[in-house]
Structure 1
Amino acid sequence: MHGPFNRMGRRKPMNEINVVPFIDVMLVLLVIFMITAPMLTQGVEVDLPQTASQPIEDDEDRDPIIVSVDREGEYFVSLGGDETQVSLDELSERVIILLERHPTTRVLVRGDRNVSYGQVVTLMSTLQTAGVSNVGLISEPPPGES
């Protein structure tokens, strides 16, 4: 008799593994990660002004220090994805400490378009007092430009 049964009617052991359940589990995990990955991006919601400008050439491997001001006028310091809310006095101290460790680290400012000009100027003055001589401003390109 041919097939998976022998003479006694018992099944012979199969020599192959059924991978269909593994594929099902992997597809479910893929869908879960595709849904949750965009939710993991964190940061301060800042509505950047849009302007046409040339991108800054990045010649360093080190992440820049990014100082953000959100629409409520609160300050945040970010280095390598770690974002911390700080007061203006703490901001100065924190930037001084970061620059003592790596003096060539670039400092960039992200200011919400709805924040008053005075707050951005105060922020830049505080950075200058902390010893930052060159500050870059982050903006977004206008719609239609890349």
Structure 2
Amino acid sequence: MRALKRPEGINVVPLIDVMLVLLAIVLTISTFVASGAIKLDLPKAASAQTKPVDKIEIALNENGEIYWNGTPVTQEQLITKIKELNQDSSVSVRGDKKAFLSDFIFILDQLKLQKIDKISIITKRDI
């Protein structure tokens, strides 16, 4: 007579693996959803001020001429205008592809000396 084998049961290890992956996904998604979930109605104050942020565009043409928001400036005038900027200012720099690299580096160097970090270099999209 043959001995009857006892059923081994269900292997739960793969089930636990799947559940842990699902838990990780739920926790990750919930952090993104919760970040914008706090609704606030801020109080008003008569002394509240908004801090103006300058948006500046500096352009460099192929002849080495520098333009500050469309107005031609010399290198000395550029240095003076950059020193007047707020450190939170956003500066866009556009340079002609035929312009000298040294002129372009001069502009970037002056911005970095004044600790202006929000610098965008404008290029044309190559399609």
TM-score, normalised with respect to structure 2: 0.52
Which structure would you say has the larger Rg? 2
Structure with greater contact order relative to length (CA < 8 Å, sep ≥ 6): 1
Aligned-residue Cα RMSD (Å) equals: 2.0
Equivalent residue, structure 1, for 2:64: 73
- Secondary structure at the residue paired with 1:93? helix
Structure 1 residues 137 and 128: CA distance shift in structure 2, 3 A: same
Percent pairwise identity: 20
Structure 1 residues 133 and 91: CA distance shift in structure 2, 3 A: same
Note if 1:122 corresponds to 2:106. yes
Residue 104 of structure 2 aligns with an amino acid whose one-letter code is V
Equivalent position to 2:78, from 78, 91, 116: 91
Instruction: For residues 73-130 of structure 1, give each alpha carbon's deviation from its aligned partner in whole angstroms, at most 9, with x where no partner exists.
Output: 011111xxxx211111211211222x23xx4220111000001211111111122223
**Count of residue pairs brought into register by the alignment:** 76
Residue pair 2:89, 2:116 contacting (<8 A) in 1 also:
no
TM-score, normalised with respect to structure 1: 0.46
Residue pair 2:92, 2:120 contacting (<8 A) in 1 also:
yes
Residue 65 of structure 1 aligns with an amino acid whose one-letter code is I
Structure 2's unaligned 5+ residue stretches are: 1-51
Runs of 4+ in 1 over 6 A off after TM superposition: none
Equivalent position to 1:131, from 111, 115, 119: 115
Structure 1's unaligned 5+ residue stretches are: 1-60
Structure 1 residues 116 and 107: CA distance shift in structure 2, 3 A: same
